[in-house]
Amino acid sequence: MLLPTLPLLAAGLVATAPSTDDLRQQIRQADTQLFAVAFEACDADRAAAMTTEDMEFFHDKDGKSASNREDFRRSVANMCSNARKGGWSLRRELVEPSLQVFPLHDERALEIGDHRFHERGKDGVERWVGQARFIQVWRRVDGRWLAERVISYDHHAAD
């Protein structure tokens, strides 16, 4: 019931949820940072620090590829090692018009959208190589948005 909290809200003593636009911007920023650190910087430790301890990652081609933060760290490290050995780098692009963000109870948010993947080869040329859809659950911990559940699906080659 909201009535008993109205005086507290008016006094600024009860934290209010961010507006929909603010939440969308916060999640978009957390998403952009996570993928830049994991794909472009290839910093597995920093990427893992942007997830919850109990994070899980599901992939339509690879299955459940992470059951916790350490699994995710290892997965990013392996991806980056393979890229370095192959002489290529990977960049993930959020398809901005597809992005949807919804507040969830208990300091969480749901993010849904599409993303594209680009590879840069030894020749320095970047090529669009594929696209997929994703669903992510983010949890706010100590004021920071951390990835808690990630589902990446409907992967297909670039058209």
Strands 126-141 and 144-157: antiparallel
Cα separation, 129 vs 100, in Å, equals 24
Cα separation, 9 vs 11, in Å, equals 5
What pLDDT, in 10s, does the model give residues 22-71?
Answer: 999 999 999 999 999 999 999 999 999 999 999 999 999 999 999 999 99
* pLDDT at 149 exceeding the cut of 50: yes
Confidence of residue 129 (pLDDT cuts 50, 70, 90): very high
The gap from C-alpha 101 to its chain's centroid, in whole angstroms, comes to 12
Domains and CATH numbers, the chain: 19-157 (3.10.450.50)
> What does the pLDDT read at residue 12?
44
Q: What is the H or E stretch that residue 149 is in? A: strand 144-157
Instruction: Say which residue, 104 or 4, is predicted with more confidence.
Output: 104
The mean per-residue pLDDT over the stretch 104-122 comes to 96
What pLDDT, in 10s, does the model give residues 64-103?
Answer: 999 999 999 999 999 999 999 999 999 999 999 999 999 9
pTM higher than 0.95: no
Strand runs (DSSP E) across 67-125, as ranges? 89-94, 100-104, 108-120
Q: CA-CA distances (angstroms) from residue 112 to 3, 34, 56, 159?
A: 33, 15, 16, 22
For the chain, percent helix, then strand, then coil, each to nearest 5? 35, 40, 25
Provide the token pair at 151: 């589902």
Please give the single-letter amino acid code of residue 59.
Answer: H
Confidence of residue 19 (pLDDT cuts 50, 70, 90): confident
* pLDDT at 10 exceeding the cut of 70: no
Confidence of residue 17 (pLDDT cuts 50, 70, 90): low
> What does the pLDDT read at residue 9?
42
Contact partners, residue 40, CB within 8 Å, separation at least 6: 89, 90, 91
Provide the token pair at 65: 């590829």
